[in-house]
Amino acid sequence: MVEKQMMGHHVDRSICAWFWHQYNHHRNNDQMSVVTSPTHYLFPLIRHGIIFLACTQLELPPLLPIEFLSRFADILSDYLCAGSGAGATLNEDIVKDNFVIVYEVLDEMMDNGFPLTTEPNLLKDIVLPPNLVTKVLHAVTGNSSPSVGPTLPHAAASTVPWRSTHPKTTTNEVYVNLVEQLDASVNWDGNLRRCQVYGEIQVNSSLPGFPDLTLSFTNPSLLNDVRFHPCVRFRPWESSQVLSFVPPDGHFKLMTYRVKELKKIPIYVKPQLTSDSGNCRISALVGVRNDPGKTIDSIIVEFQLPPCITSADLTSNHGTVDILADKTCRWSIGQIPKDKLPSLSGNLVLEPGLDRLHVAPTFQVRFKIMGIAMSGLQIDKLDVKNMPANPYKGFRAQTQAGDYEFRS
């Protein structure tokens, strides 16, 4: 399914067909982030199974279209999924049902190939999202305008472009959520090759008026590199490592950061492979190493069976083992039980002619730990100024595995 908007000179639709052909052709291999077609350079971006494609014939900064597309994807899912309940992700049907919204949003976001308004809050002033309220209103009164705001964005005139001057929120609360992603790779001999954390501070603010927030950490020196939302003032950060900002309304990413060279990993996998005359014994143990103090949830261990394996027979003493169609073996553990260590064992039959297994599969682990940030970053306090009443403040933290792998 295709859809698009033409800017400047005419881009023929056949480019999509061309891309689609290429895409299917290379599906099993890897996709490049810039594709050269006979006439254009294409930037594909894949989110939730929907492909966003930008074309250009000119030289340009490559991140510009890529960033724009990912922003567009975010905004689109923000728009279209908010109305259809929490947890919904963007999919083909939702887009199909909302062609008009998609066009309207795209129209506001880009004019003649130059990005225009990309702040979600501002966009929502111009193009109203199809939320439940307007749907109900529409059904009851029959004459509301479901997708166009009656007025212009006020923020266009305000000094902080990300915040409209008249947010309509009635609640008075702010939530801060630390989300960390732990990347680690461990060698076959158990050596930790590298370990680092990418973290995000997500804030959901619904505060009236013009609040001024200050967020401070107990251990900011931990952070290796930080990137901020435009609302963060740089001076206070430079001088005393505190985040001072006037928040946009709603959900936004306040800061992203990186912590490198961590020494501890919460969970380990001990894989062992021994092969002998066409068979390969495989066993793997999973355990907690440096107990983070919170339960580790939804543990999944995955590994790719090498192509030279004809059949596999795997069992585990805890959780379920599935072999998926693409020869990926998925072992869903869930939580680690108190009384025993989960272990996986089994036998792999090699292709005839092969004596022993030459390649070493890599075990990838996924998990989630609620309530703790593995980097050790801690929020000290959040001050809210410029507010008539003290708002409710909520804090959360969560760590999940990113590229978390064990080699065998």
Partner 1 sequence: MAPPVSTPKSASPSQPSGKSEVTDLKLQLRHLAGSRAPGADDAKRDLFKRVISCMTVGIDVSPAFSEMVMCSATSDVVLKKMCYLYVGNYARCNPDLALLTINFLQKDCHDQDPTIRGLALRSLCSLRVQNLVEYLVAPLAAGLKDHSSYVRTVAAIGVLKLYHISATMCHDSDFPAALKALMLSDPDAQVVANCLYSLLEIWTQDAANSDEAAREIEALYGKSIIYYLLNRIKDFSEWAQCLVLDLVSKYIPSDNNEIFDMMNLLEDRLQHANGAVVLATIKVFLHLTMSMTDVHQQVYERIKAPLLTLVGAGSPEQSYAVLCHLHLLVMRAPMLFSSDYKHFYCQFSDPSYVKKLKLEMLTAIANESNTYEIVTELCEYAGNVDVPIAQESIRAVGKIALQQYDVNAIVDRLLQFLEMEKDYVTAETLVLVKDLLRKYPQWSHDCIAVVGNISSNSIQEPKAKAALIWMLGEYSQDMMDAPYVLESLVENWEEEHSPEVRLHLLTAVMKCFFKRAPETQKALGAALAAGLADNNQDVHDRALFYYRLLQYDVAVAERVVNPPKQAVSVFADTQSSEIKDRIFDEFNSLSVVYQKPSYLFTDKEHRGPFEFSEDLSNLAIGGDSGDDVIHSAQRYEENDKDLLLSTSDKEENGGPTHNGSSTYSAPSDVNSSTSLVSSSTTQPAAFAIDDLLGLGVLDTPVLPPPPALSLNAKPVLDPGTFQKKWGQLTVSSSQESTLSIQGVASLTAPQSLIKHMQNNSIQCIASGGQPPNYKFFFFAQKEGSSSFFLVECIVNTASAKAQIKIKADDASASDAFASLFQSALSNFGSS
Q: Which of residues 29-58 bind partner 1 (CB under 8 A)?
A: 29-34, 36, 41, 43-45, 58
Nearer to partner 1, 87 or 142 (CB): 142
Q: How far is the CB of 332 from partner 1 (least distance, A)?
A: 18
Size of the chain, expressed as the number of residues it contains = 408
Are β-strands 41-47 and 35-36 bridged in parallel, bridged antiparallel, or unpaired? antiparallel
Tokens read off for 227 = 């990137």
Nearer to partner 1, 258 or 294 (CB): 258
CB 55 within 8 A of CB 11: yes
Q: How far is the CB of 134 from partner 1 (least distance, A)?
A: 11
The single residue among 19, 40, 77, 117 that binds partner 1, judged by CB under 8 A, is 117
CB neighbours of 89 closer than 8 A, spacing ≥ 6? 48, 77, 81
Binding segment (CB under 8 A) for partner 1, from list 112-120, 213-221, 279-287, 339-347:
112-120
- Residue 180 touches partner 1, criterion: CB under 8 A: no
Binding residues for partner 1, rule CB under 8 A, total 93
Tokens read off for 350 = 């090699």
CB neighbours of 159 closer than 8 A, spacing ≥ 6? none
Binding to partner 1, residues 331-370 (CB under 8 A): 358-362, 364
Virtual CA dihedral for 83, 85, 86, 90, nearest 10 degrees?
-60
Q: How far is the CB of 328 from partner 1 (least distance, A)?
A: 12
Nearer to partner 1, 196 or 335 (CB): 196
DSSP bridge pairs for 226: 257
Tokens read off for 40 = 């254009």
Nearer to partner 1, 71 or 368 (CB): 71
The single residue among 13, 21, 166, 281 that binds partner 1, judged by CB under 8 A, is 13
Q: How far is the CB of 310 from partner 1 (least distance, A)?
A: 16
Query: Is 64 exposed, middle or buried (CB count within 10 Å of its CB: 0-12, 13-18, 19+)?
Result: middle
- Residue 219 touches partner 1, criterion: CB under 8 A: no
Nearer to partner 1, 158 or 378 (CB): 158
The single residue among 22, 131, 165, 196 that binds partner 1, judged by CB under 8 A, is 196
**At residue 6, what is the residue type?**
M
**At residue 147, what is the residue type?**
S
Nearer to partner 1, 194 or 396 (CB): 194
- Residue 132 touches partner 1, criterion: CB under 8 A: no
- Residue 324 touches partner 1, criterion: CB under 8 A: no
**CA 68 and chain centroid, separation:** 16
Tokens read off for 112 = 């003649």
The single residue among 212, 228, 241, 376 that binds partner 1, judged by CB under 8 A, is 228
**CA 302 and chain centroid, separation:** 20
Binding to partner 1, residues 136-155 (CB under 8 A): 142-143, 145-153
- Residue 23 touches partner 1, criterion: CB under 8 A: no
CB 273 within 8 A of CB 248: no
